[in-house]
Structure 1
Amino acid sequence: MATLILVRHGRSTANTAGVLAGWTPGVALDERGAAQAAALPGRLVGVPIAAAVTSPLQRCRETLQPLLDARPGLPVHTDERIGECRYGDWSGRKLAELNDEPLMEVVQQHPSAAAFPGGESVRAMQARAVDAVREWNARVEAEHGEDAVYLMCSHGDIIKSLVADALGMHLDLFQRIHVDPCSVTVIRYTRLRPFLVRLGDTGDFAALIPRERTDGGTEGGAAEVGGGAGAP
């Protein structure tokens, strides 16, 4: 079956503002995010991408555009099922204040039971994304052959949930996975099982350097809902 390249969108204005964007309109790449997107075609040189699929949100479309410019004629499709988690009433709020919400502990420790007020559950988010990948795998293989490679540009929590599915991990463990902005994750699907080939690859090890949190403490064990802004 097909090999899927998952690209998280580049760093956005919401990432740097510490805001949970969700489906809030008008969230664009910031200066660094635009540079990350511009570097993407060079990182994928030589990879024969048969098609690209993108979340409809602006930050994903902007991330994918330099690759489309570098590869005229590359088929591109939009699929809402790989759009960001629908955080509902949490959308547009500061992550720092959301950390005080009782639901945040559930999101961190028992996400399969978490449902965002006015939005969707984490289980529903994963189910729609997995369904999308299964359908695109079949479509790409039918059109381009079983060795075809295609790309999806999506969001942190979506990619984490797809990796958990590929690894056979319970959704309650998906917060242990981390993908930085504009990172590349690769899953090779076969008839019997998927193989995780790359995870959150940016080629940049700055994220490994210890750093202090803005609240003065050291980084703890909580996952960054929405994916975070990456290394400073």
Structure 2
Amino acid sequence: MATLILVRHGRSTANTAGVLAGWTPGVHLDERGAAQAAALPERIAAVPLALAVSSPLERCRETLQPLLDARPGLDLRTDARIGECDYGDWSGRKLKELNGEPLMEVVQHHPSAAAFPGGESMRAMQARAVEAVREWNARVDTEHGDDAAYVMCSHGDIVKSLVADALGMHLDLFQRIHVEPCSITVIRYTRTRPFLLRLGDTGDFDALAPRAGDEEGGSGNAVVGGGAGAP
């Protein structure tokens, strides 16, 4: 079956502002995010791609644009099912402020029970993303053969939930997974099971260096939405 190359979008203006963007319109890549996107074509230059699939949000489409420019024949499809989690009333709020909400403890430790006020549940988020990937896998297999690869650009929590599904992990464990902006995660699907070939690969180790005020490392909490990555 198909090999899925999952790309988290490049760093966005919301990431650097510490804001949970969700589906808020008008959130674009910042200068670093644009540079990350510009480097993407070279990073996967050796991989033939059957097609590209993007979340409809601007930061994902902007991340894929350099790749599309480098491969003029690459077909781009958009799928709302791999769009960011609908954080509802949390959208547009500062993460530091949200850390004080009682719901955050549920999001961190029991995400399968977490539902955002005015938005969706994390369980529903994972279900729609997994359904989308299964359908795209089948389409790629039918149209391009079962050894084809395709690229999909989505969001931190979506990527993490797809990795958890591929590894057979309960959603309640998915906060143990971390993916940097514009990192590449690769899952090869087979008839009987998926294989995780890469996880959050950025090609460097800058993100491993200690950094002051690191919410994730310091508190033990995962950054909802994925965070801004290494400075």
Is 1:82 matched with 2:82? Answer: yes
Q: Which residue of structure 1 lines up, in the alignment, with residue 158 of structure 2?
A: 158
**Partner residue in 1 for 2:223:** 224
1:180 maps to what in 2? 180
Q: What are the equivalent positions in structure 2 for 1:1-232 lying under 5 Å apart?
A: 1-213=1-213, 219-232=218-231
**What secondary structure, in the 3-state scheme, does the structure 2 residue paired with 1:150 have?**
strand
In the TM superposition, what whole-angstrom CA distance separates every residue of 1:29-82 from its partner, at most 9, and x where no partner exists? 000000000000000111001100000000000000000000001011000000
Q: What one-letter code is carried by the residue in structure 2 that aligns with 1:111?
A: P
The AA in structure 1 aligned to 2:182 is C
Determine the C-alpha separation between the residues in 2 that align with 1:182 and 1:211.
Answer: 19
Q: Alignment length, in residue pairs?
A: 231
Q: Kindly indicate whether the alpha-carbon contact (under 8 Å) linking 1:89 and 1:119 is maintained by their aligned counterparts in 2.
A: yes
Q: Which amino acid aligns with 2:72?
A: P
Q: Cα offset for 1:219?
A: 1.8
State the TM-score, normalizing by the size of structure 2. Answer: 0.98
Identity %: 82
Aligned residue for 2:15, secondary structure, equals helix
User: Unaligned stretches of 5+ in structure 2?
Assistant: none
User: What are the superposed Cα offsets for residues 169-210 of structure 1, whole Å, 9 maximum, x if unpaired?
Assistant: 000000000000000000000000000000000012111111
Give yes or no for contact 1:211–1:219 (8 Å, CA) kept in 2.
no
- Give the alignment's Cα RMSD to 1 decimal: 1.2
Q: Distance in 2 between matches of 1:191 and 1:136?
A: 15
Structure 1 ranges of 4+ moved more than 3 A:
none
What secondary structure is seen at the aligned counterpart in 1 of 2:50? strand
Aligned equivalents of 1:51, 1:104: Cα separation in 2: 37
In structure 1, runs of 5+ residues without a counterpart are none
- Give 1:214 shift: 7.2
Q: TM-score, with normalisation over the residues of structure 1?
A: 0.98
Q: Once the two structures are superposed, what CA deviation does each residue of 1:135-168 show, in whole Å capped at 9, x if it has no partner?
A: 0000000000000000100000000000000000
**Displacement of 1:102 after TM fit?**
0.1
CA distance in 2, matches of 1:77, 1:221: 37
Q: Secondary structure at the match of 2:212?
A: coil
